[in-house]
Amino acid sequence: MDKKNNSKKNDDKNVKKFYELEHKERLEFLKKEAHITDQDSKIFQDFPKNFKFNKVNNMIENAIGFIPIPLGIATNFVINGRKYLIPMAIEEPSVIAAASKAAKIASVKGGFLAEADNSIMIGQIQLISRDKSNDDKDKFFNKEERDRVKKIILNNKEKLLEIANSKSRSVHAIDLQVREISDESINKMGYMIIIELVIDTKDAMGANVINTMCELIAPELEKITKCTVILKILSNYSTKRMARCKAIFPKEMIGGSKGIERILYAFAFAYSDIYRAVTHNKGLMNGIDGVAMATGQDVRAIEAAAHAYASKDGKYRSLTKWYKSKEGDLVGEIEIPLAIGIVGGITSVHPYVKISLKILNIKKAKELALIMVAVGLAQNFAAIRALADEGIQKGHMRLHARNIAITAGATDEEQINIIASKLVEENNVTVNKAKEIIELINKNEISNK
Ligand code: MEV
C-alpha cells in the first residue's frame, strides 16, 4: 500500500464510528453532516424521567432519541362479558373514536365474544443435502435421501427436543415435525427438508426463544443426518395461534335492513376484490396495530401474518366476514393469527408499555389477543358502516381541520374550534384558508367566541 493510502487508513482509525459516539456527539455529528439545527437537536435531548437516552440506546443501535406517537384510550369495549379500557397508540385521527363508537353499538347485544388458541409457534430449520459437487442439483434431496433423512430425524425426535429445551425454563418445544418442500418455479431439481419445532411460548411472543432453540438443535441435526443446515428461524406465519371474535350490531342502530344491506355490499366488495380487500384489512389493522403499538408488540410480525392469512385460500380476501342474523341484525366475525406477548421483549422495560398493560389489567397474553381481535372487528365495522353510509371524510375532516388550524398558528382551544368548524363548513380544509380565518379573527371580523 502506498504512503498516501496508509495515512488515510490511520486517519479512518481515529474517526469514531457513529455507534461509538456519545449521545451529544451523535447530535453534533448530525448538525454537521445532516443539517439539523440547534433547536432540532434540543428535541432529542428531552427525555422523560423514566425513559432516558441510555434506555433507548439499549433498545436499538445508533439511537438519537424517540418519536412520540399519540396514545389514547378506546372506550365502551365489553369482551366476553368484561369491560375494558383499551390503550391505542396511533397517529391517525378518527380511529379511536370509531372503535369506541362501534364498541358501544356492539355492547347493546352483549359486546364481543372472543377466543384465542394457545401460544403455539413454529421454528424452522432448513436442511439441504451435503454439497457433493459444485452442481446445485446435488444440494437437494432425491426421494431415497429424503426418506433416509426424515427417518433419522424422527428417530431422534426426543433427543432433539431435549436439546431444544435445554436452555429454557418456562417456554417448551412440545413437538418436532419434518416436511419436505419443493417449488417448481425456484428449483427444478428437487426437495429441501424443513424441520419444524412446535413451541408453546406461553405469555411471550417468543421470537428470541424460538430462534435460540432452532440454533441449538442445528449442530445435532447436521451430525445425525450428515446434511447441511441453512436457515434457523421462527416462522411469523403464526397459524397455530389464531384469535377469533364475533359481535352483533343491532339493526335499529345502523339504519335498519337498508343500512345492513349496504354494509353487506361493502363486505362483498372486500371479499372478492384484492384492491378493496387490502384497504378493508388495512382499516381493521388500524385498530389491531394501535393496541399492538401501545402494548409493545412486534407490529411487523402481526401485519405479515395477518396479510398472509388473508390469502390462505389462494386469493387475498377480507379478514372479516359480515352477514345478517335470523333476527335481521348485522353479525361480524374476524379470525387472524396473533403472535403477541405480555412478558419479555420491550414489555418489561418500556415504561409507557408497562402502563398500557396496567390499564388493560390482564394476566395472560391470550387475553391481549382477545382484546386486539375485538378492536379489529370494531374498527372494521366502523369503517364499512361509514363508507357504506356518508363516507369517512366528514368525520376525518373535523380532526384534520383542527390539525390544520394549529399548523396555521391557532393556539387557544376556542380559536381552534372556530377555525376547524369554518374550514369544514366551507369545505376548504387548507392552511391558507385557516390563516385567512385567523386574520379575520384578529381583525375582529369573526368573533373568537
Ligand atoms: C383508513 O385508515 C382505513 C379505511 O380506508 C378502511 C376501509 O376502507 O375499510 C377507512
Chunk the chain into consecutive blocks of 10 residues (it has 449) and report each block's average pLDDT, rounded to whole numbers: 50 80 96 94 90 91 94 98 98 95 98 98 92 56 85 98 94 96 68 95 96 98 95 98 98 96 98 98 98 98 98 97 98 98 89 95 97 98 93 74 90 88 89 93 75
pTM, two decimals, is 0.88
Q: Are 63 and 44 in contact (CB under 8 A)?
A: no
- The continuous run of DSSP H or E covering 193 comes out as strand 192-200
User: Cell numbers of 178, please?
Assistant: 419434518
DSSP letter for each residue of 54-116: HHHHHHSTT--------EEEEEEEEETTEEEEEEEE-SSTTHHHHHHHHHHHHHTTT-EEEEE
Tell me which fold the domain 394-442 belongs to: Helicase, Ruva Protein; domain 3 (1.10.8)
- The domain 120-235 is placed in CATH, from the list 3.30.465.10, 3.40.50.2300, 3.40.30.10, 3.30.70.420, at 3.30.70.420
CA–CA distance from 222 to each of 27, 152, 180, 195, 387 (Å)? 47, 11, 16, 12, 56
Between the CA of residue 382 and those of 102, 157, 285, 391, what are the distances in Å? 6, 49, 13, 11
Q: How far apart are CA 357 and CA 81, in angstroms?
A: 19
**Cell digits for 369?**
389477543
**Total residue count of the chain as it appears in this document:** 449
R_g (Cα) of the chain, nearest Å: 27
Beta bridge partners of 125: 195, 232
What's the gap between Cα 243 and its chain centre?
15
The answer to whether the CB of 210 falls within 8 A of the CB of 201 is: yes
Query: Three-state DSSP class for 224?
Result: helix
State the amino acid at position 275 in one-letter form: Y
For ligand 1, pick from 288, 390, 392, 397 the residue to mutate: most ligand atoms within 8 Å of CB: 392
The Cβ-side half-sphere exposure at 322, using a 13 Å CA radius, reads 27
Q: Which atom of ligand 1 is nearest to the CA of 284?
A: 6
Q: Are strands 112-116 and 120-128 parallel, antiparallel or unpaired?
A: unpaired
Å from CA of 382 to ligand 1 middle: 9
The reported pLDDT for the residue numbered 12 is 64
Residues contacting ligand 1 via CB (< 6 Å): 92, 279-280, 282-283, 286, 383-384, 387, 392
Distance 67 CA to ligand 1 centre (A): 24
- Give the C-alpha separation, 85 to 425, whole Å: 33
What distance lies between CA 162 and its chain's CA centroid? 33
Residue identifier of the C-alpha nearest atom 7 of ligand 1: 280
Handedness of CA 304, 80, 383, 404 (dihedral sign): negative
φ/ψ of 332, rounded to 5, equals: -120, 145
The reported pLDDT for the residue numbered 434 is: 93
The residues spanned by each domain of the chain are 21-57, 71-116+243-389, 120-235, 394-442
Atom of ligand 1 nearest to the CA of 92: 2
Active site residues: 92, 282, 298, 396
Q: Which atom of ligand 1 is nearest to the CA of 276?
A: 8
Question: Which fold does the domain 71-116+243-389 belong to in CATH?
Answer: 3.90.770
CA 422: distance to chain centroid?
A: 37
